[in-house]
DNA sequence: TTAAATTCAACAATCGATTGCATTTTGTTG
DNA sequence: CAACAAAATGCAATCGATTGTTGAATTTAA
């Protein structure tokens, strides 16, 4: 299918024997064009089925009214909620969203970012991939004078606007809660420690143990258990220990927690009596497993809105100096059956 | 933060004492520019941190290499998977995606579509909202010579490219399966009949009953039970009937099926012995409820890829005549514990 | 009635990249 | 070394909308 020629302001101008500039002004509701002509132009525009060519307009105006978003995976609950939140806020301001997914690959992330730079987006919002350690590509965004906002998984070294969860605190809360419930040997399933969020969660875990006078045990901390399968394997390993844990904090995700639960069920270990389980992210299934799983809500939709609003707020700020601003959202522990023993 | 001036081909041309056209050609790897100069230009471009202004380029070229996607909700499993699929396929072709959500509202859907038309996207991919009955806004897309692809929830009257699920067949399969399992009084939870997908699912249900010589009973078909809550209410109503159903097909979604399961659990009705339950969409939680829920997989990611590839294929087609093409994907029944009685 | 002030529309440059055509440079051949 | 072909570069128009400036027409004030 070949697209037909679209009507432009020149077409309208020609038809009405006017200058394109007047048409443009009328369309932008400028006060320096006569009301009668304005009405006529608007009417003709409608007749000719005119729509503004945003490409041309943006080129002239020097901005694109577009925000680029890079996430590891679009179809992951947390991220799709954040995106929904961003969309909700930006839409009202007439902004568009270009969405890319890095698929957790550094190479693709770099490509995505570069494409967005080419597109001359006004702002790039990113949550980095697991593989990302270098950050030249992000520096590059800054070098192009494009606003950069990091969220959730952020590169600490880079001074940009950031919206994060207070992972350490929520992790601390979760572990403290488990201790209060009488669990004594709490294991930790860790995510890749490259990512700051997983480091923070570990810190929170350790702090909680320390504050309750419990010595951390190396054998109870398993690295890189960040998928359901890896967690299931880790759980088997943990439960076959001479002194197995009486609780497992799957700090990486609810999917991990699910893996733990499944193994426990198979091994006929009673949850929460013999084993407490806590996940992370408040996926909707955590409510309906049996037993339901204690987890942590990250307020993802709200997080998206916060990101967008941070941008708009920063926009209005005419100062040339960018003050790196970090907004930390405190996640909420949701206690459910999997850690509740009376 | 104010964005600094970005380097353009003019900057490069000036620095090298060349004409911008040569720079452009070099950057596009044209064969009509000397290899030495080309190398020099590329080197300088890198030095000056140049990136092409896609706005200008697209304006000149007359297309945007952008596809607009409008879905009811981004953060719904099915849709976010479709989007992921589209992204996966379009990315490889250097296309960008602009994502909008209609929030199931007709008004917002119209707005979204108009914004995308303004943006001069090359193609609009849409799954309409529940509220959508009129389709002037979609006709408008066509009138602007923009490719339009509908998926899943499509407006039948409009002759466009379409990628759909064979809802009738999958529904037929599901109900047939339940009949085979010995269920005799199968209730149907319907979605809003405005939407063709829900009408098709009802047709499939009726056809299955008919082919097995079962007369449909009006009391067992509940309209508009398309959320978890509405389905729970409908289930209570159904189960308090003098002759209650022995199975419920929640044709709208797995969330509906979940509502059914919860009510059954509360009422201490045994699933699948006393009541069979079948959902729709293969949400990840259906696997882990107890009992696990029989459902229908829609191959959402694959559907997204199909949509994108359909566009690219159509692109190459130079014919001016658009043959309305419909690709129907056959969903797959996934039988689980909730309908399996030996 | 005339000078001053408004109002409204036209003109032309601009945003940055692309591209058909013209011109210059380089290379080849007799 | 002239003559011509080929290669490389320059020129200028174009995509469509925006906007500062200029000038004509109209209105208001004096």
B324 has pLDDT over 90: no
Residue B319 pLDDT class (50, 70, 90 cuts)? low
CA A28, CA A38: separation in Å to the nearest integer?
10
Neighbours of B15 (CB within 10 A): 14
Neighbours of B135 (CB within 10 A): 17
Determine if the peptide bond prior to B225 is cis (ω within 30°).
no
Please name the residue that has the structure tokens 């056959």.
Answer: B330
User: Is B34 within 7 A of strand D by CB distance?
Assistant: yes
The pLDDT of residue B322: 60
Query: Which regions of chain A does DSSP assign to beta strands (E)?
Result: 66-71, 96-101, 123-126, 147-151, 161-165, 186-189, 221-222, 247-250, 276-278, 295-297, 326-329, 332-334
Residue B3 pLDDT class (50, 70, 90 cuts)? very low
DSSP string, B12-49: HHHHHT--HHHHHHHHTT-TTS-HHHHHHHHHHHHHTT
In a 10 Å sphere around its CB, with 0-12 CB exposed, 13-18 middle and 19+ buried, how is residue A325 labelled?
middle
Average pLDDT over residues B7-25: 95
DSSP string, A176-236: HHHHHTT--SEEEEPPPTTSHHHHHHHHHHHHHHHHTT----GGGEETT--SHHHHHHHHH
Residue A319 pLDDT class (50, 70, 90 cuts)? low
- In contact, B28 and B41? CB cutoff 8 Å: no
The two structure tokens encoding residue A28: 């932008």
Nearest to A164 by CA among A198, A197, A129: A197
A38 has pLDDT over 70: yes
* Domains (range + CATH), chain B: 9-52 (1.10.260.40), 64-165+300-329 (3.40.50.2300), 167-298+333-339 (3.40.50.2300)
Q: B314: which chain A residues are within 8 Å (Cβ-Cβ)?
A: 1
User: Which residue of B lies nearest to A54 if distances are taken between CA atoms?
Assistant: B119
The pLDDT of residue A120: 84
Q: CA quadruple A265, A267, A270, A276: dihedral positive or negative?
A: negative
CA B258, CA B227: separation in Å to the nearest integer?
10
Strand partners, A161: A149
CA A301, CA A124: separation in Å to the nearest integer?
18
B260 has pLDDT over 50: yes
The pLDDT of residue B321: 58
Average pLDDT, chain B: 92
Angle between helices B106-118 and B136-143 (to 10 degrees): 10
The pLDDT of residue A297: 97
User: Which residue of B lies nearest to A314 if distances are taken between CA atoms?
Assistant: B1
Lowest mean pLDDT among A11-15, A63-67, A297-301: A63-67
Residue B207 pLDDT class (50, 70, 90 cuts)? very high
List chain C nucleotides near protein: any atom < 7 Å from a Cβ: 7-20
DSSP state of B220: G
In a 10 Å sphere around its CB, with 0-12 CB exposed, 13-18 middle and 19+ buried, how is residue A154 labelled?
buried
B259 has pLDDT over 80: yes
Q: A81: which chain B residues are within 8 Å (Cβ-Cβ)?
A: 75
Q: What angle is formed at CA B290 by the lines to CA B285 and CA B291, rounded to 5 degrees?
A: 105
CA A93 to chain CA centroid, Å, is 20
In angstroms, the Cα distances linking B208 to B5, B226, B290 are 66, 21, 27
Residue A4 pLDDT class (50, 70, 90 cuts)? low
Tens of pLDDT, residue by residue over B123-145, are 999 999 999 989 999 999 998 88
- What percent of chain A lies above the pLDDT cut of 70? 97
Classify A327 in phi/psi space as left (phi over 0), alpha (psi -120 to 50) or beta: beta
The pLDDT of residue A26: 95
Q: A314: which chain B residues are within 8 Å (Cβ-Cβ)?
A: 1
Residue B2 pLDDT class (50, 70, 90 cuts)? very low
User: Is A59 within 7 A of strand D by CB distance?
Assistant: yes
Backbone dihedral angles phi then psi of residue A292, each to the nearest 5 degrees: -65, 150
B320 has pLDDT over 60: no
β-pairing, B147-151 vs B186-189, is unpaired
Cβ contact B100–A97 (<8 Å): yes
Contacts of B257 (CB under 8 A, 6+ apart): B231, B248, B250, B277, B278, B279, B280, B286, B293, B295, B338
Q: B88: which chain A residues are within 8 Å (Cβ-Cβ)?
A: 101
Q: What angle is formed at CA B101 by the lines to CA A164 and CA B118, rounded to 5 degrees?
A: 110
Tens of pLDDT, residue by residue over A103-148, are 999 999 998 898 888 888 999 999 999 999 999 999 999 988 899 9
Q: Point out the nucleotide closest to A21 (alpha carbon to C1′).
A: D18
- In contact, A227 and A255? CB cutoff 8 Å: yes
User: Which residue of A lies nearest to B116 if distances are taken between CA atoms?
Assistant: A96
Q: Is A315 helix (H, G, I), strand (E, B) or coil?
A: helix
Residue nearest to nucleotide C12 (CA to C1'): A21
The pLDDT of residue A284: 81
User: Is A41 within 7 A of strand D by CB distance?
Assistant: no
The pLDDT of residue A256: 95
Tens of pLDDT, residue by residue over B272-312, are 999 999 999 998 888 888 899 999 999 999 999 999 999 99
- Give the H/E segment covering residue B125: strand B123-126
Backbone dihedral angles phi then psi of residue B66, each to the nearest 5 degrees: -135, 140
The pLDDT of residue B115: 84
Tens of pLDDT, residue by residue over A158-178, are 999 999 999 999 999 999 999
The pLDDT of residue A1: 41
Residue B316 pLDDT class (50, 70, 90 cuts)? confident
Give the residue ranges with Cβ < 7 A from strand C: A 17-22, 31-37, 56, 59-60, 62; B 5-6, 8-10, 20-21, 24-25, 27-28, 50, 52-53, 56-57, 59-61
For the CA of B44 and the C1' of D6, the distance in angstroms is 28
Nearest to B174 by CA among B64, B248, B228, B70: B248
Residue B83 pLDDT class (50, 70, 90 cuts)? very high
């Amino acid at each position: 299918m070949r697209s037909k020629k679209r009507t432009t302001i020149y077409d309208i101008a020609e038809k009405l024997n006017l200058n394109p500039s007047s048409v443009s002004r009328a369309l932008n509701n400028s006060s320096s064009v006569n009301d009668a002509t304005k009405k006529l132009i608007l009417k003709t525009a409608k007749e000719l089925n005119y729509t503004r060519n945003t490409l041309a307009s943006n080129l002239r105006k020097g901005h694109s009214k577009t925000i680029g978003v890079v996430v590891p995976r679009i179809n992951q609950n947390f991220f799709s909620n954040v995106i929904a939140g961003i969309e909700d806020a930006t839409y009202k301001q007439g902004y568009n969203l270009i969405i890319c997914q890095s698929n957790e690959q550094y190479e693709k992330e770099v490509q995505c970012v570069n494409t967005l730079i080419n597109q001359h987006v006004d702002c790039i919002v990113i949550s980095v991939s697991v593989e990302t350690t270098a950050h030249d590509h992000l520096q590059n965004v800054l070098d192009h004078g494009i606003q950069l906002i990091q969220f959730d998984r952020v590169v600490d070294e880079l001074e940009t606007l950031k919206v994060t969860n207070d992972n350490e605190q929520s992790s601390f809360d979760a572990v403290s809660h488990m201790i209060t419930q009488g669990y004594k040997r709490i294991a930790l399933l860790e995510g890749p420690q490259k990512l700051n969020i997983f480091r923070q969660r570990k810190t929170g875990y350790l702090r909680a143990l320390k504050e309750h006078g419990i010595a951390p045990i190396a054998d109870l901390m398993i690295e890189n258990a960040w998928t359901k399968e890896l967690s299931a394997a880790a759980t088997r390993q943990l439960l076959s220990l001479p002194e197995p844990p009486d609780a497992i904090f799957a700090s990486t995700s609810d999917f991990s927690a699910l893996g733990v639960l499944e193994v426990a069920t198979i091994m006929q270990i009673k949850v929460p009596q013999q084993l407490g389980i806590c996940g992370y992210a408040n996926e909707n299934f955590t409510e309906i497993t049996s037993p339901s799983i204690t987890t942590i809500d990250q307020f993802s939709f709200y997080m998206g809105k916060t990101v967008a609003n941070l941008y708009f707020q920063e926009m209005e700020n005419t100062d040339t100096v960018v003050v790196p601003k970090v907004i930390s959202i405190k996640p909420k522990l949701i206690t459910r059956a999997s850690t509740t023993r009376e």
